[in-house]
Amino acid sequence: MRIEYQQIGVIHSPFNEPEGTPIQSTGAVGVLGTVEIFPEFAQGLQDLDGFSHIILLYHFHRSEGFTLLVTPFMDSVQRGVFATRAPKRPNPIGLSVVRLNKVQNQTLFIEGVDILDETPLLDVKPYVSEFDHYSADRIGWLGQSNRDVKETRADRRFE
């Protein structure tokens, strides 16, 4: 089954290249960006400005093809791609939670941006602690990683 989606907007950030980009929002404290929603979808932004945080789903446009085993930025050995957040996945959908500072017309002003400039946007959802906080008691290989997600930056391995 093939599933077809459409780009609904574009994400702007200070990151033009994967190399040096934070690998999670938690490593992108204070990094500002914007999301431009295409005019035909702007009405769907109504009421969004009440939320402090939003979930962005987007298309990893700089990732070509996929592999089922990847060496993630936080590790030095291969892991199953579904046990990682690496971009080179069968369906290259990225997920970031960012702070929503302001909504102005069809532009979202966001903070905590770990996303490449010009990334095609697929969806925006409100982030709600009551829905989105889970007590994860086991975090697999990440529990053994001696790298700090806040400090780790991407390189060119997934291009």
CA-nearest of 60, 54, 68 to 93 is 60
Element containing residue 126 per DSSP (H, E): strand 119-126
Binding positions for a second copy, 85-124, rule CB under 8 A: 85, 89-91, 93, 95, 97, 99, 120, 122-124
52 binds a second copy (CB under 8 A): yes
DSSP 8-state class, residue 39 = G
CB of 20 to a second copy, least distance (A): 19
CA-nearest of 34, 30, 48, 32 to 124 is 48
Binding positions for a second copy, 59-78, rule CB under 8 A: 59, 68-69
DSSP 8-state class, residue 98 = E
Q: Which range in 13-21, 46-54, 151-159 contacts a second copy by CB under 8 A?
A: 46-54
43 binds a second copy (CB under 8 A): yes
Q: Which is nearer to a second copy, 10 or 155 (CB)?
A: 10
Report yes or no: 17 and 11 within 8 Å, Cβ to Cβ: no
Phi and psi at residue 119, in whole multiples of 5°? -70, 130
Figure out which of the listed residues 57, 101, 109, 147 binds a second copy, where binding follows CB under 8 A: 57
What distance separates the 2 farthest-apart alpha carbons in the chain?
46
Binding positions for a second copy, 123-152, rule CB under 8 A: 123-143, 149
Q: Are strands 93-104 and 107-111 parallel, antiparallel or unpaired?
A: antiparallel
Q: Using CB under 8 A as the criterion, which residues of the chain lie in contact with a second copy when the complex forms?
A: 1-8, 24-26, 37, 41, 43-53, 55, 57, 59, 68-69, 79-85, 89-91, 93, 95, 97, 99, 120, 122-143, 149
